Amino acid sequence: MQFGIIGSGSWGTALAKMLTDNGVHINWCVRSEAIARHLQKRFHNPNYLQSVSFDTNLLSLYTNAKSVFATSDHIVIVTPSSFVIQQFTGIAAKDLKEKKIISAVKGILPQQNLLLNDYLKKKFAFSINNYFTIMGPCHAEEVAAERLSYLTFSGTKPAAVKAIADRFATPYINTIINNDIYGVQYAAILKNIYAVAAGMAHGLGYGDNFLSVLIANSADEMAGFLRKAGIRNIKVGVHSVARVLQKKKSPNYAASVYLGDLLVTCYSLFSRNRTFGAMIGKGHSVQSAQTEMNMVAEGYNAARSIYELNKEINADIPIAENIYQVLWKKLSPRIAFKNIEDGLV
């Protein structure tokens, strides 16, 4: 396997650390020549996770995605969802032949309102059998500190998924195998919206008691959306036949990639979506909050994307819809949360 990574933000840097800690050589597309020079000379990303030191013998650095596609057979896409499509500029279907695309994108591509796998199928006739996902709960900052975290890898072929997951497994990363490509991606998108809601509640002055109720209702709302979208792994306390040899239960809605990722994204101070929501709740405009953070909060575009998708899915998602109204239609956060309060159980 020759791995390539497209994206040099905090999560891209964390994934690069996992691979290189295992001695895996990577072809890494970084944002600029200045970043590439800094990595070669100082051994760390100058902008993100500066405590992580790289063995530069394991890095081939590029500033264009096309070079990574040309030199790699397993390509990890780890840019904000709004920048994903531009990474495929100049790429033809033949360039993806025999390639495996591994998505670490936690959002819908907003230009077309599509998940990455659906975009690849539409644009390049790319088979879902060669598409894989990496999902949390896992904050880059804790990877840098080597605090134990869990990653879920999804794909249609268990042996291929396991082979990929094994390259990322380290003493500080436990890996989980899953075949629910659509469910894990929709869950990752929705949890970012609910994390914005949790942050907004904090910014408005609500306490922990309210927050617990808000997140519990968000979890139920997310499960309802997933069920309407045709996802099956959503029954808490129910598992398929026990995997005795692996000593693990089969995944369900209470698993880390669904409920676990929702919880950490809503509660953690590392969560950029929670931070973004808190700023909105304290009175910042969307634009000023985005400017001050200088990082992408996926929940912003996700709120609109899910709102549009739900016109077809028709799930009952009042929390997500009120967050959409705040972020995109300038509804007052206080009015939105009054609407939300009245529907919580």
Task: Label the pairing between strands 149-154 and 131-135.
Answer: antiparallel
Rg (CA), the chain: 20
Task: Give the helix/strand (H/E) hosting 136.
Answer: none
- Topology of domain 183-343 in CATH is N-(1-d-carboxylethyl)-l-norvaline Dehydrogenase; domain 2 (1.10.1040)
Domain boundaries along the sequence of the chain: 3-179, 183-343
- The CATH code that applies to domain 3-179 is 3.40.50.720
Whether 3-179 and 183-343 share one fold: the answer is no
Regions of the chain with pLDDT less than 70: 233, 237-238, 241-247
pLDDT tens-digit profile of 126-154?
A: 999 999 999 989 999 999 999 999 999 99
pLDDT tens-digit profile of 179-223?
A: 999 999 999 999 999 999 999 999 999 999 999 999 999 999 999
pTM beyond 0.85: yes
SS3 category, 248: strand
Task: Give the helix/strand (H/E) hosting 48.
Answer: none
**β-bridge partners, 5:** 28, 76
Torsion of CA 5, 30, 86, 266, to 10 degrees: 70
Q: C-alpha angle with apex 69: 63 to 72, nearest 5 degrees?
A: 105
